Structure 1
Amino acid sequence: MNRFTQIRLVPVIVLGVLLCAVGLMWPETHYQRPLTVAVNIWPGTEGLVMACDEGNTLKQRINTVEMSWPTAVMGAFRKRVVDAAVVTLDEMIRLEADGAKPRAILALGISHGGDAIMGHAGLESMQSLRGRNVGVELKSAGEYLLWEALRSHGMTLKDLHVVPLNLAESEDAYDEKDLDAVVTADPWCLRLRDKGAVTLFDCSKMNLKFCRVLVVREEALLTYERELRFLVSACLAHNAKIALPKSQGRDAALRREGFTQEQWLQSMTRVHLPDAAENLRLLKPGSGGLEECVNEMVHTMLQAGLLHQEIKTQGMFVPKFLEAAL
């Protein structure tokens, strides 16, 4: 290589070294995955599903993961596969006991009979289930409902043959007649009723105990603050009109729930969707809302053996996103 060529290569080499140095010093781009929300099959979640779809934009990313049974949702939340999830209060208590730190930011809906124990024709009461096969999803709201039903009738789980199954299997299990009764929830509960199933017990008198909430992992509250503010506001807006005859997204909701138009309207009479003001009252401590209800549930779950350790409920409910929506 002659001297002239060597001289010409010097700037190229210097430039290459500088580019390498700049590359080493350039700050790494921090990837933040979209806010991931686990939603289950339940009529009261449809407003949230619509809000998630609406909120998935260039400025903010929101993904939904549809799961058909509660323990799958709880497992995904516990393993940090999702950042947020829809759960019942007893399921929230179980997650807190497991150290998953769920924080409720929105009361989605209160079930008024949409969670029930459904039996075959000929069964007349909970007492008629003695010695019978009853299907239920263990470590979920179904188990809690079954325990409450048995307790109120002077019975225990030992009076039944409990058959574990997930919630999405309850309708098929009932159709196959392998079980005498199943613990289920809408949409399966309503479809079974239309097939002639008998309601042996439902949650209509359990009030707030069968409220489903949107929970978020504690550390995700700040990470996804913008997305969560949007979700709360948009979900409340959709819930306000979801029962109207021509509400947006109705066809998609019917497909997800497996409902006819008539069944959808019936299901909306079986769930109460709190507005922003009621939500704020429910989530604020000291107002006779969800924190007080959860404290009572913790006590009863410990007595029943459904919970094996005391938990602190203070801080489990976060109303700030609701306050921003008002």
Structure 2
Amino acid sequence: MSRIAALMPSRELWRTPLLSGTTSLWILCLVLIAGCDHPQPPFRVGTNIWIGYESLYLAESLDAFKGSPIRLVTMPNTTQVMSALRAGMLEAAATTLDEAISMAAHLKDLRVVLVFDVSHGADVIVSTPNITTLAQLRGRRIGVESGAVGAILLNAGLEAAGLTPADVQIKHLTVDEHAQAFLSQQVDAVVTFEPVRSQLLDQGANLLFDSSKIPGRIVDVLITTERIAHNHPETLRRLINGHFQALIHLKQNPEQARQSMTTRQRLPMRELEQAFQGIELPDLATNHHLLQGEPAPLLVQTTYLVKLMQNQHMLDQPVDMQNCFTANWLPQP
């Protein structure tokens, strides 16, 4: 694996019917966490490596969770995160909105309680140097993840050029294959995201399209269930409060805050700063706006996503997201 591939985070849910050996190992670790001698049962929050989730780890470093049962669990990818949540080994998880939709098919009382970030340029279509326009993708090989995030961006980019998926050769690549496939010329373009965006552009790739052209469509959220929320109300509120405390610290002390993130993200400061330029971090007022109302604005986007996922055969059963969004656990604005 190349250095770039080793740096890549995973945001997509790789749909696997059975727990893999790696997933089983992670669940064993979570069982051990649950068995530790805590004054309260641990409130385990699963994440993978993605800049939008760094607020939780920043909050932890600021002692926002000190004395609480909150335990942040970094997992290699969202396959493990979602499998652990379904197995009852996590109380909450950081996911993309399409992953939340997939989980809602299995967790009927799933709740979206926080919006971490909205992609605004971090997700991109990049091409080899000889391809300079979207129209030139006709007949070309495009690497893309099998989840909805990749499909959203690819469909939007192709539509902007008057193309359809039938006009290109789509190669489904797992996230750890993006850079290697691109740099070894196995594909002519790839749908990817930060920090790989910056890595490939530094090596001469052309930026053809990015998520700033489709604002509001690619979103990362915190999910739990209604049962867990009502069994752990104060802990859930403290977790969410910590996120907003971290955002304030990031705004007031950006260099200090980002310095603490470079090790976890395995990125130099310059590239980390570039990565943050590609996402929006909704504040408390914006979170209230997105998660409440009739309908909640985020529900409107979710309806679009559900239809897309159904058309792409990404859902194996109907999903009703009507009651999944709540601002009840947010601090008052």
Q: TM-score, normalised by structure 1?
A: 0.80
1:129 partnered with 2:137: yes
Find the structure with the greater CA-based Rg. Answer: 1
1:91–1:141: 8 Å Cα contact kept in structure 2?
no
What is the 5 A alignment of 1:20-59? 33-52=41-60, 54-57=63-66, 59=67
Distance 1:79 1:244, change over 3 A: same
Distance 1:232 1:103 in 2: 14
Distance 1:162 1:120 in 2: 16
More deviation, 273-282/65-74: 65-74
Aligned to 1:239: 247
Aligned to 1:200: 208
1:285–1:292: 8 Å Cα contact kept in structure 2?
no
What is the 5 A alignment of 1:1-326? 33-52=41-60, 54-57=63-66, 59-99=67-107, 101-243=109-251, 246-286=254-294, 289-307=297-315, 309-322=317-330, 324-326=331-333
**Cα drift, residue 109 of structure 1:** 1.0
Distance 2:251 2:170 in 1: 36
1:89–1:209: 8 Å Cα contact kept in structure 2?
no
Q: TM-score, normalised by structure 2?
A: 0.78
Q: Secondary structure at the match of 1:64?
A: strand
Distance 1:134 1:65, change over 3 A: farther
**Cα drift, residue 243 of structure 1:** 4.8
| Residue deviations 1:254-286 (CA, integer Å, cap 9, x gap) | 122232222222222221111111110110033
Distance 1:100 1:41 in 2: 27
Query: Runs of 5+ in structure 2 lacking a partner?
Result: 1-36
**Cα drift, residue 161 of structure 1:** 3.0
Distance 1:74 1:198 in 2: 34
| Residue deviations 1:173-202 (CA, integer Å, cap 9, x gap) | 323332222221112222222222212221
Q: How big is the alpha-carbon RMSD for the aligned residues of Structure 1 and Structure 2?
A: 2.7
1:232–1:325: 8 Å Cα contact kept in structure 2?
no
2:296–2:325: 8 Å Cα contact kept in structure 1?
no
Distance 1:175 1:75, change over 3 A: farther
2:104–2:319: 8 Å Cα contact kept in structure 1?
yes
Distance 2:77 2:164 in 1: 24
| Residue deviations 1:92-113 (CA, integer Å, cap 9, x gap) | 2222134464311111111111
Distance 1:173 1:82, change over 3 A: farther
Distance 1:102 1:62, change over 3 A: same
Distance 1:30 1:315, change over 3 A: farther
Distance 1:65 1:166, change over 3 A: farther
More deviation, 140-149/109-118: 140-149
| Letter paired with 1:170 | H
More deviation, 37-46/294-303: 294-303
Distance 1:65 1:176, change over 3 A: farther
Distance 1:82 1:129 in 2: 42
Distance 1:223 1:50, change over 3 A: farther
| Letter paired with 2:208 | L
Query: Runs of 5+ in structure 1 lacking a partner?
Result: 1-28
